[in-house]
Structure 1
Amino acid sequence: MNFFEHQAQAHKESKKLLFLFVLAVIAIVLAVNGTLALLWIWMKGQIGTGIYTYPRGFFFTNTAVTLLFIGGGMLFEMSRLKDGGDAVARMAGGRLVQPDSRDIQERRLLNIVEEMALAAGMACPRVYVMDEEDAINAFAAGYHQNEAVVAVTRGSLTRLSRDELQGVIAHEFSHILNGDMRMNIKLIGVLFGIQMLAGFGQHLMEWGARFGGSRSRDEKGPSIQLILFVFGLALFVIGYIGIFFGRLIKSAVSRQREFLADASAVQFTRNPDGIGGALRKIGGLTRSNQCGSRIKNPNAEQLSHMFLGAARPNLLSGLFATHPPLSERLQRLYGRNIELLDASELPPEMELDEHAVSMGFSAGDGANAGSSSTGLTVSPLGFHPEYGYQTAPASSANSLSDNATKLSPAKPSLAKPSPAKQAAPIATIPAELVHAARDPKAASALVYGLLLDRRDPASFEIQLAILRQALPQQCALVSLLHETLEKLAVSLHLPILDLATPALKLLDAEQRQQIMGISARLIAADQKVSQAEFVLQTILQRRLNPKSGRDVGVKYTGLVQLQAETALMISLMATTEFSAEHAPQAFVKASNSMPELHLQVAQFVARDQLDFFVVKQALDKFQQLAPLAKPFLIRLMLQASGNPLSADGADLLRSICAALDAPVPDVVSASYAERPQH
């Protein structure tokens, strides 16, 4: 099953979630009305009289207040989570790990995340550590992959080997790339609304116990103190209806995804003992504390559907469990019963070597290194010939076990296995650029360095003048970084930007806006927009714009509704890959691959007629395209590309994927690995 199919499935599951939510609300409203009716006749001394009278609008008021309570709770929580993954990570007690951290365990974690991001061709997620959690667990959160975060427990850092930690991170990257995160955040808000009655009832019980006072002897009925306590107890019990439905909702949408993420982790790392070893250690730790993935944070129940393992012991198994049984997950991974592992804390590693810090890997990484000097063993996601994207890359002959194909219960459609390619590793990027990419101020200078262009001396002088005026203290650093960047192949420019993304996101909104403004001025220095500038600007806007993390609704169901825009994108790709003489032929070839679009040769747009402002407007519309229609656009663009794919064509497709919040096709990732890096 590919990324876009998962997005479509998420829409279907949203309907299931909505149905279960409505059932939960109905059950809560009925329970509240029934409880308040009993309390009213008890307070009025009508029990046993057979005559029950209620004030006018009694049940309507109860229903309205309950609905407002639930709806208000949802809106409050969703507002609290407007920052996406960062808000969720803080809610779980996470601490942001600085991109330039020198702590050896944090450095190892950051290296793994960077490797995964570069291999997947996506922005490097921000990383959080839950310092108070000694168990083994992790989660990914965010509204889309351009602003995702990955959070791990302290126990994951101290108890897992590098391969095992890499398996855990690969599991979380699967959730990012399969579009699971948005649904998970929506669940947090929904569940808060229907479960908050229990918390409110608990507060009423406390108030009733502390305040209220008794009625005089002449007054009938119970005291205010007793009424508050009983009403609070009733709401607390009713609140468990919300918890019941919350568990049901979470189990309905999360358990099968865990199987798929386990499978993807194996295929992504090509190492079954990565995620397998982590799960075995969770089982081993469970023998001593009943739940090796237990989260102590008070928000654990609310966030339980997001974690790698069960955040709390499963009191209700089967239908109501938020995660599949650990034994079943291991059975699917190994195809047999396998013993659990000891999860004792690992001995401290050797101190980081100064060169290792600057290059991006720890001294201890070498022992577990795969086919690259940085320990990079991950592979880019594969491109599905029919739909667009595979869930994970093909395996190599000496990596996956025979049981790897049994991992996903849904038997997802995968392309025929092909040799996996690796993205450009961090080791091919000069140390000074890696160091700059991890520092917020230097990362912004790196962006400006990517936009400088010496090929036109007059425009270059204008660019330098802009920098001297806007950033007099950074101008020298920008020039220095630009000199280093000029020596690199163009294929490394976007990976460097991927690496710099976490540091750039540490800047406040005003500083990000400054970057976008200065970048626009540097691009406009020569009074035109080149394709390379368009690519960089598109990716920057998607990652740094304050509104980029918001959900975009579906307005167009297919490419037929965007015929002119589709022709424009195919023309852009064809003119990027071929000469003016052969580009129309590439356009026709791509058009013929999807005859239902009825594209005509007359709709071909020549290179000298292309306007990147119009292209940007087209991308804004493609963002509103239905999930299952997006891969057809990328497939059409690939049909119009050359073989092999050029560096400019690969960069263009990466920017299109960033704009559509889509994974990068394998053919694009492979093109970076195949070209020389210097």
Structure 2
Amino acid sequence: MLRIGLFLLTNVAILILAGTVLNLIGFNGIMEENGVDLNLNALLIFCAIFGFGGSFISLLISKWMAKRSMHVQVIDKPRNETEQWLVNTVADLARDAKVGMPEVGIFPSPQSNAFATGWNKNKALVAVSQGLMQRMNRDEVRAVLAHEIGHVANGDMVTLTLIQGVVNTFVLFFSRVIGHFVDRVILKNERGFGIGYFVSVMVAQIILTILASTIVMWFSRRREFRADEAGAQLAGSGAMISALEKLKVEYDMPSDMGETFTAFGLKNGRTGSFQEKFGSLFLSHPPLDKRIEALRNR
């Protein structure tokens, strides 16, 4: 909670600074000369409420949405030895990571996949695909589970939500500042909101969202390295590397399976591809080669 409080205070300070800078460069003066009394502080608060509100609602319902969208079968009472092993393994890893016992589930997917979600590190959900259970040995499955427990222990879901909230706030704020400027200063609209406002807000919001997503994706890639390290600490470097190598083989296969998203690791970009040259800024996961190399060099 202390980390969340400090994070929020830091970003409130950033928002106040943004408003102060706009005042210092004379933005309010320009708007007033064109008959617009724009309260930047009120606009910041409005955008922050909607920016953070949407992110926190998404976080609060993340477990509910994941269970339904991925058709997760939560293991309340293990029906066989494999499910019992899965529950026991997650319990051991959660204890070692000093977090509460997550819900454990399996979802129907032929791809090797796994994810962790939840608003509270002591009330999370960890789920693996049927494909992962079939393709990996138990040491490798344990490493994958340790990686996901690492996300939970690091509080990655909450931190990413806070970052997304700040990004949303700035996108909403600056797109509307640009809209007011275009509508009143450039197009000289004197009454209400003209078409220039709505078009420029829409265009600015699209462009700013794309640019801002690189910040969110940068953090997402960093958290994967941290989760890999946590997985190596909890389950052993050898098992973690072996699991990533199996993923690499699977997702490099020229098939539909190789093109499918996975929460645990995305397929590497092809050599010479747009993704490899430019798209890496928008990847939520680092290339598997880099993740394997980082573990070997730790």
Determine whether 1:86 maps to 2:63: yes
Matched, 1:233 2:203: yes
1:180 is matched with which residue? 154
Q: Does structure 1 residue 125 correspond to structure 2 residue 95?
A: no
Q: Is the 8 A contact 2:100 2:121 kept in 1?
A: yes
Superposed counterparts of 1:59-458, under 5 Å: 60-61=39-40, 64-82=42-60, 86-87=63-64, 89-90=66-67, 93=70, 95-100=72-77, 102=79, 108-109=82-83, 111-118=85-92, 121=95, 124-131=101-108, 135-142=111-118, 146-176=122-152, 179-181=153-155, 183-192=156-165, 194-195=167-168, 228-251=198-221, 254-267=223-236, 272=238, 274-287=239-252, 288=254, 294-295=260-261, 307-310=263-266, 315=278, 317=280, 322-333=284-295, 335=296, 407=298
Answer whether contact 1:309 1:323 (CA < 8 A) is retained: yes
Counterpart residue type for residue 56 of structure 2: M
Instruction: Kindly provide the amino acid, as one letter, of the partner of residue 285 in structure 1.
Output: E
- Is the Cα contact below 8 Å between 1:164 and 1:278 reproduced in 2? yes
More helix by percentage: 2
For the 8 Å contact 2:93–2:146, the answer to whether it is kept is no
* Correspondence for 1:643: none
**Alpha-carbon distance, 1:92 to partner:** 6.5
1:190 Cα deviation from its structure 2 partner: 3.7
Report % sequence identity. 20
Distance 1:68 1:224, change over 3 A: closer
Deviation (angstroms), 1:185: 1.9
1:610 aligns to what?
none
Q: Which residue of 2 aligns with 1:371?
A: none
CA–CA distance in structure 2, aligned partners of residues 196 and 311 of structure 1: 31
Name which structure has the greater RCO, CA cutoff 8 Å, separation 6+: 2
Shift of 1:89: 3.4
Q: Is the 8 A contact 2:102 2:126 kept in 1?
A: yes
Alignment partners' CA distance in 2, 1:18 and 1:166: 38
The TM-score normalised by the length of structure 1 is 0.32
Per the TM alignment, residue 109 of structure 1 is displaced from its structure 2 partner at its CA by: 4.9
Indicate the SS of the match to 2:127. Answer: strand
- CA gap of 1:227–1:74, structure 2 versus 1, over 3 A, is closer
The whole-number CA distance in structure 2 between the counterparts of 1:16 and 1:79 is 18
| Residues 234 and 65 (structure 1), Cα distance of their counterparts in 2 relative to 1, 3 Å cut | same
Using the alignment, how far apart are the partners of 1:261 and 1:323 within structure 2? 16
* Contact 1:200-1:232 at 8 Å conserved across structures: no
Aligned 1:16-31 pairs, distance under 5 A: none
Q: Amino acid of the residue matched to residue 100 of structure 1?
A: K
Per-residue CA shift, 1:241-288, capped at 9, x if unaligned?
Answer: 43233234444x515413422322433xxx82x333321122123323
In the TM superposition, residue 327 of structure 1 has moved relative to its aligned partner by 1.6
Taking only aligned residues, the RMSD between alpha carbons, in angstroms, comes to: 5.0
The residue type equivalent to 2:76 in the other structure is P
Q: Give the secondary structure class of the aligned counterpart of 1:147.
A: coil
- TM-score after normalising by structure 2: 0.63
User: What runs of 5+ residues in structure 1 fail to find an aligned partner?
Assistant: 1-6, 42-51, 202-218, 297-306, 336-405, 408-678
SS in 2 for 1:139: strand
Say whether the 8 Å CA contact 2:232–2:240 is kept in structure 1. no
Q: Report the 3-state secondary structure (helix = DSSP H, G, I; strand = E; otherwise coil) of the residue aligned with 1:165.
A: helix
Once residues 256 and 25 of structure 1 are traced to their aligned partners in structure 2, the CA distance between those partners, rounded to angstroms, is 32
Contact 1:24 1:241 in 2 (8 A): no
CA separation of 1:265 and 1:249: change in aligned 2, threshold 3 A: same
> What secondary structure does 1:151 align onto?
strand
User: Is the Cα–Cα contact under 8 Å of residues 28 and 241 in structure 1 kept in the other structure?
Assistant: no
- Could you tell me which residue of structure 1 aligns to residue 186 of structure 2? none
Q: Cα gap change, 1:14/1:146 in structure 2, threshold over 3 Å: closer, same or farther?
A: closer
Kept after mapping to 2: 8 A contact 1:74/1:192:
yes
Q: Counterparts of 1:225 and 1:242 in 2: how far apart (Å)?
A: 25
* CA 173–115 in structure 1, closer or farther in 2 if over 3 Å, else same: same
User: 1:200 Cα deviation (Å)?
Assistant: 12
Gaps of 5+ in 2: 175-188, 270-274
Tell me how far apart the structure 1 counterparts of residues 134 and 120 of structure 2 sit (CA, whole Å). Answer: 29
* 1:671 alignment counterpart: none
Residues in 2 aligned to 1:193 and 1:230: alpha-carbon distance in whole angstroms: 21
CA contact (8 A) 2:220 2:284 kept: yes
Listed one character per residue, the Cα deviations across residues 150-189 of structure 1 (whole Å, up to 9, x for unaligned) are 023454245434432222112223444xx313x4224224
Q: Which moved more, 1:255-264 or 1:119-128?
A: 119-128
- Which whole-Å CA distance do the structure 2 matches of 1:93 and 1:254 have between them? 23
Tell me which structure has the larger Cα radius of gyration.
1
1:609-624, aligned counterparts within 5 Å?
Answer: none
Which residue of the partner structure matches residue 650 of structure 1?
none
Residue 94 of structure 1 and its aligned partner are, at CA, apart by 5.3
